[in-house]
Amino acid sequence: MKEFSATQVAALVNGTIDGDESCRISGVAALAEAESHHLSFLGNSQYTPQVLPSKAGVVIVESDFNEQPPKNRCWVVVENASAAFSTVVSEFAPPAFLPSPGIHRGAVVDPDVVVPDDVHIGPNAVIEAGVIIGAGAVIGAGCYVGWQVNIGAGCRLYPNVVVLERCVLGDRVIIHSGTVIGSDGYGFIPGTVHQKIPQVGIVQIDDDVEIGSNVSVDRARFGRTWIKAGTKIDNLVQIAHNVVIGERCFIVAQVGLAGSVVVGDDVILAGQSGVVGHVTIGDHAVVMGGASVWEDVEPGAKVVGDPAAPRMAHLRQLALIKRLPDLLKRLDALERRISE
């Protein structure tokens, strides 16, 4: 069992100690569940009331936390408590499981595909003709990799991922189970019999992108649907044809992006937000949870609501709505006085 002193924790996260330096930890836990041998952290102010009652021997806090630690406990003070806690957690985490290299006898791999020696291909995976696989890739059980797909070095496809024909994955891309890359974009010409519009483009996913479970990334009508480097996508997200997502974005669960949306760099799209087609969201913008974006969003803006509006404008609108019952009563009274 690993054990760390408070001093070692502070050194690990570049923090300072406030309280009993003799405290030792051998595990991590949430504030409400921690015991004296645990490390915990305060990463959100709503949990501040839990810090003092907690039994955690060591708590990582930020400099604006002003409470004094009780006897036999200590704080480790840092700039970013959540990031520091993650650093320590990694010291306690078990080694990551990586399947051993090789092709499972139950996999179906086109005979012309060159598979590097350090690649793992799991049971019931299917690798079609023309696929290129980079060094160190892991392709889990039941995955389907279509014709002429390019999988970069160090990619990991968890079980039952589908990457359809001609799509391109950069290096170190991680895709979780149930996700489909390269399904047809949604396009039909209405008529007595709806006519399907051919979707002949590809999906390009750049280096260090991670995509959660049960995500759909549609191929472009022509050209490419493009997810740029470092972007992180949560579970249950729909990305339509010809969408372009910039670098280092966070796309949270149940977001829907309609066709040809352009998302800038370092954008946050919070849970259940939606964006109509052909809209551009500027760099560093934040779309709050549940917002519905109908028009372009300026760089750096924070929008909320349906339709989405700048946060302060939306709050003023809500305040006015709350006043409506009283305003209607006053209007009725005024109308009665006038009629008299």
User: 325: which residues sit within 8 A by CB, 6+ positions away?
Assistant: none
The 10 Å Cβ neighbour count of residue 92 is 14
Contact 101, 121 (CB under 8 A): no
In tens, the pLDDT along 135-167 reads 999 999 999 999 999 999 999 999 999 999 999
Enumerate domains of the chain plus CATH numbers: 4-92 (3.40.1390.10)
* Nearest to 255, CA basis, from 272, 268, 242, 240: 272
In angstroms, rounded to a whole number, what is the distance separating the alpha carbons of residues 156 and 168? 14
In this prediction, residue 308 carries a pLDDT of: 85
- Token pair for residue 104? 């499972």
Backbone angles phi, psi at 269, to 5 degrees: -110, 105
Calculate the alpha carbon distances from 10 to 60, 70, 77, 90, 101 in Å: 9, 18, 8, 15, 38
**Residues acting as catalytic residues:** 241
Predicted TM-score of the model (pTM): 0.86
Helices 81-92, 6-13: axis angle to 10 degrees equals 120
- Token pair for residue 165? 């024909």
In angstroms, rounded to a whole number, what is the distance separating the alpha carbons of residues 164 and 219? 9
Low-confidence ranges of the chain (pLDDT < 50): none
In this prediction, residue 332 carries a pLDDT of: 84
In angstroms, rounded to a whole number, what is the distance separating the alpha carbons of residues 302 and 280? 14
Chain centre to alpha carbon of residue 84: 20
